[in-house]
Every structure is written in structure tokens, then in C-alpha cells.
């Protein structure tokens, strides 16, 4: 479990449970197929960014109650400017 935040929901941070490691296949800038296996912060970042590609935010991984509180806090911050 690691605390995450996102520029999509500024100033909101919540603990999110994710896989400890990931293996991803991708193409580099030259179109060469590559594979990366990693853990720790990089694994969390990869999962976070893949979520964006799939239309999800980190708050989609927390409980409904925590999500509701986070969104209320975000709304208050937005109203303050």
C-alpha cells in the first residue's frame, strides 16, 4: 500500500493497494518490442499511468467511503480557488 496523488485531482492523496511488481511489454522509440519487469515505486507509477489509459483514476481503487470523502475535500479546495 502506497500513498498516491495525481494532477487530475490536485491536493488529494490516498493510500492505494496495487501489485508489488509488474511485467510490461512495450515498443521503444524505434518500434522495437521490449519487456520490463520491475517493482517498487516504478511498478506503482506504471500501474497508475496504465489506469489513466483505461479511463481510471487512483480513487477508483479506494473504498466508496474514502472516495466520497476525497471528492468532497477536492470540491472544497476548488471552491476556495
User: Which of the residues 1, 14, 37, 49 is marked catalytic?
Assistant: 49
Indicate if 49 belongs to the active site. yes
Q: How far is CA 1 from the centre of its chain?
A: 12
31: number of Cβ within 10 Å: 6
54: number of Cβ within 10 Å: 7
Name the residues annotated as catalytic.
49
Amino acid at each position: 500500500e502506497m500513498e498516491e496523488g495525481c494532477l487530475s485531482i490536485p491536493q488529494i492523496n490516498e493510500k492505494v493497494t496495487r501489485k508489488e511488481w509488474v511485467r510490461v511489454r512495450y515498443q521503444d522509440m524505434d518500434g522495437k518490442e521490449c519487456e520490463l519487469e520491475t517493482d517498487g515505486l516504478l511498478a506503482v507509477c506504471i500501474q497508475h499511468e496504465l489506469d489513466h489509459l483505461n479511463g481510471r483514476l487512483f480513487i477508483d481503487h479506494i473504498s466508496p467511503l474514502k472516495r466520497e470523502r476525497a471528492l468532497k475535500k477536492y470540491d472544497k479546495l476548488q471552491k476556495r480557488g
